[in-house]
Chains A and B, each alone.
Chain A
Amino acid sequence: MSHSDHSLSIAAPHSGTLDGPQKAALTLAALGVLALLISLPMNTVPHAGLWLVGALLAIAIGVVGYAWRSYAHHPAGIKNNGVWHTGLTSRGAVAWQVGVMLTSFYIVLYFFPQYLGLAGEGHANTGIIALFDPLSRLLGGNPASQWFVYGTLYTVAILSMGTKFILKYRHNKYEVVRTISVMFFQLGFAFLIPEILARLSLPYNDFKNMWPLNYSFFDSWNVQGLLSTGGFGLFMLLFGVAMIFLISPILTYFYGKRWYCSWVCGCGGLAETAGDPFRQLSDKSVKAWKLERWMIHSVLVFAVVMTAALIYSYLGGDSAKGFWLTRGMLLGIIAIVLGSVGVVLLVRPVMVKELNNTVRFIALGILLVIIGLTAYAYIIGSSDIFFVQSYSLRKAYGFAIGAIFSGVVGVGFYPLLGSRVWCRFGCPMAAVLGMQQRFFSRFRITTNGGQCISCGNCSTYCEMGIDVRSYAQRGENIVRSSCVGCGICAAVCPRGVLKLENGKPSSRFSSDPIAIGKTGATLR
């Protein structure tokens, strides 16, 4: 039984036609987008500041007005009516059109910014980038770049669609607070603070953007840039390293990876707000899960290898370049960090007991190869670890992972593959946090005894493609590395079966399924 009658309407939270105010709000938002697009062919944009503010306000007010009309005067509750009857949210014709539009936008943004009006050296911006110049000058003091345009639009999307999400889930305080958090981190940490730093002639830095998601953190220009600005730059460098090795592991231990992925991260922020109408499109099959594990861990290995090679290359053999760190010390650090992961894999303490041997030995092999090749390069005095120029590795990573995967596919394919394609299949940060969440964290989703009716709402609305139901219907807790803790499975459950919780790591796998009767069956 399939619904092939996809409507061509824009996502309506209630099936049926849009009413007057909804149409008016959507028209306003569309006019805002149009106002941005009109600037594209212009050499100089008149009244750029006013024009820009007007366009952005029209978009924001249009989206929020539409959401207000759609949700506010209906009783608070789950608003998934018509999701699979609406073309945009069920891979109908409109979804494909939007997908193509988003994908094209990312391709132009990453590879052809000149078409947006990015000026060459010594020239003034034109087109849409010129439209953003006044705002950029106001905040950071410099003319806009394509990244400033992107960052502004990204922030407007998270703020306006975040407000929509809050209206939609206004009965659910976890969702409301979590969404305020992603809106705050996007506006403050990703957008405003870096601009303010620029105004203060300090290096651009998004404090919450950690390596390996922030794969350019250890690039020599970034490190040197940070070091060249004295105490504050050094602080930023140390803070970045502390985020990786200290702050993030501690927070992940206590709360699971959700503290980052669905409360702080910018990619997660966009997925949870603008991507929310598409969360049901993620693939829940076991096949997709297998593919996910191969892909995401391959990207992580790629990121580690690329970064190690890069640092190794620019360190040089001595401290001539001004770094106290030498290649020998880096070899030591790599050996210690990767070696300790290897020891955990070998010794197999209680928490990773259930890791199967194939996985262990593949992982061990990879760790040994990385350590071995680094040591080999050190001994023979080569400046490249992996027999390829580290710079080309870095370039390949930036292109394939940074631009194509996280941008073009990650967001461009929202309407086709769901909102967390990047987070699930590609993000090396999610891979690191996920391993920790799976083996060393207090976080789990608890199943409430035998109350599950196997309806499938939890699995359907899991943006990470976890088949939540397969656990819930057996009375098992959900402990999965990919879970970002968005809480929607618990929200859409009609029988109160799921709860995100932190507790003793030893108890996280199973609250015992309810034993029924004294001698009778156990609901599994």
Chain B
Amino acid sequence: MNDPRIVIIGNGISGITAARHIRKHSDAQITVIGKESEHFFSRTALMYVYMGHMRYQDIKPYEDHFWEKNRIGLKQGTVQRIDTEQKKVELTDGATLPYDSLIIATGSASNTFGWPGQDLPGVQGLYSLQDLEAMEENTKGIRRAVIVGGGLIGVEMSEMLRTRNIAVTFLVREDTFWGSILPKQEADMIVRHMQEHGVELKFNTELKEIVAGDDGRVAAVRTKGGEEMACGFVGLAVGVHPNIAWLKGSPVIMADKGVLVNEHLETSASDVYAIGDCVEFHKNPDPQRKNIEQVWYTGRLMGETVARTITGERTAYDPGIWFNSAKFFDIEYQTYGWVRNERQEGEAEHYWEHPNGRSAVHLVWNAGDRVLHGVNSFGFRLRQEVFDRWLHEKATVDHVVKHLHEAAFDPELYKRMAPAIRASFNTTNKVTA
């Protein structure tokens, strides 16, 4: 019996995780098709290449010999269409790859909103390796940049530009930074930190158009408020959407905003699965989550899940306790469970911030039974294992605060955060035992 042929479209974290785990559990023939690069690289590390912390080869998590050794075939190319009848993938270079199982893992593409001038030289998003190369070119010799956005990519681009002493103005449509996710207190702290790094933030400011100079390159932006700002570079960081435009030629695979899947990550076509950023669940198995999840970790989880299914152990996607992390210039951020930007009905909260404005902890719990809903942590590393357990066990906020030191993950010799947090919690939350 021949080993099954598995084709994976997309060599990002989701597709590669699937490939590695399929190899762990089987001898299937695996081919991964990648468009951006020959080898897998860590997309979240692109910024460090621009900043000079690492080279491109340093952000490749596996040495180049890894793939051959693990019999994972790599094919650099672009998919033209998927023939679900004949079960084969056709590439733009004319090659066809037959499959027994197909995994779609094509990630995201940057949003644009039809702004005049959005295609001018010097205007770009930051998602792909090609974007990084473009940014290197587009920012040569410039002095001022404008970032449009208000989320993670925007702050990353600001940090990158600041390392080259480029002045950054950050246009945010809302009245605070990353307001759809962060509570006001945290957002304010991050804003102050960004300002400390020389980023000028303009809230309630929407982009109207991007204006070209005599050389045909970007020269300025105009806001809806009528303000004009000269700049040599515009970074568009207004979110991403599932990268599925290429799928139009394969109508058997149903898609809306993303490739539609059930909880087993199965698409409407048989033996075709989809994972990662490009996926839209009919209904996310975790009702707290959105149907499109564009996070590194969920990409990995979906990759592991689909690998199990394909190697014979049909497994539903069950993402467990929500967690995420990021870094805003020098301030690290971790979150476990749910801390929404605004308190939900019946929720109580406690926010503690260090006087230096670089550490903060935000606890949210159910006011009735005091069970913890989640924690946001800034400049204070927390042990995932411990918070994962507490949230699974439905620990109360009082238990969590009392045992907070057990979850501390800061380096040795650091000043302990837990006592100050505990003291501030206890003064505002008189507990009746």
Contact = CB atoms under 8 A, between A and B. Distances in A.
25 contacts: A1-B49, A15-B163, A75-B196, A77-B330, A81-B163, A82-B51, A83-B53, A174-B411, A449-B383, A450-B297, A450-B300, A451-B325, A454-B61, A455-B48, A457-B45, A460-B58, A469-B61, A494-B327, A496-B325, A496-B332, A496-B334, A499-B410, A500-B411, A519-B315, A520-B305
Contacts of A80: 51-53
Contacts of A515: 320
A450 B411 contact: no
Interface of A: 1-3, 14-16, 75-78, 80-86, 171-174, 177, 285-286, 448-451, 453-457, 459-460, 469-470, 473, 487, 490-492, 494-496, 499-501, 511-512, 514-524
B381 interface: yes
B223 interface: no
Nearest to A171: B330
Given A448-B384, A516-B320, A520-B319, A457 B411 contact: no
B13 interface: yes
Given A82-B52, A171-B330, A523 B318 contact: no
Interface stretch (B2-10, B71-79, B393-401, B412-420): B412-420
Q: Which of A3, A77, A517 has the most CB of B within 10 A?
A: A517
A389 B193 CA distance: 67
A455 B384 contact: no
A45 to B, nearest CB: 43
B164 A16 contact: yes
A251 to B, nearest CB: 15
Contacts of B63: 285-286
A85 B256 CA distance: 44
B42 interface: yes
A110 to B, nearest CB: 35
A87 to B, nearest CB: 12
B143 to A, nearest CB: 12
Contacts of B49: 1
Given A86-B52, A517-B320, A499 B61 contact: no
A84 B330 contact: no
B44 interface: yes
Q: How large is the interface on B (under 10, 10 to 19, 20 to 34, 35 or more residues)?
A: 35 or more
B184 interface: no
Contacts of B297: 450-451, 523
Contacts of B48: 455-457
A516 B318 contact: yes
B236 interface: no
A173 B414 contact: yes
B388 A521 contact: no
B388 A449 contact: yes
A70 to B, nearest CB: 13
Nearest to B159: A81
A519 B51 contact: no
A449 B384 contact: yes
B424 interface: no
Given A80-B51, A451-B325, A469-B61, 9 more contacts: A1-B49, A84-B52, A172-B414, A174-B414, A449-B323, A457-B53, A491-B411, A495-B325, A516-B320
A78 B159 CA distance: 12
Contact of A459 (B52, B58, B319, B415): B58
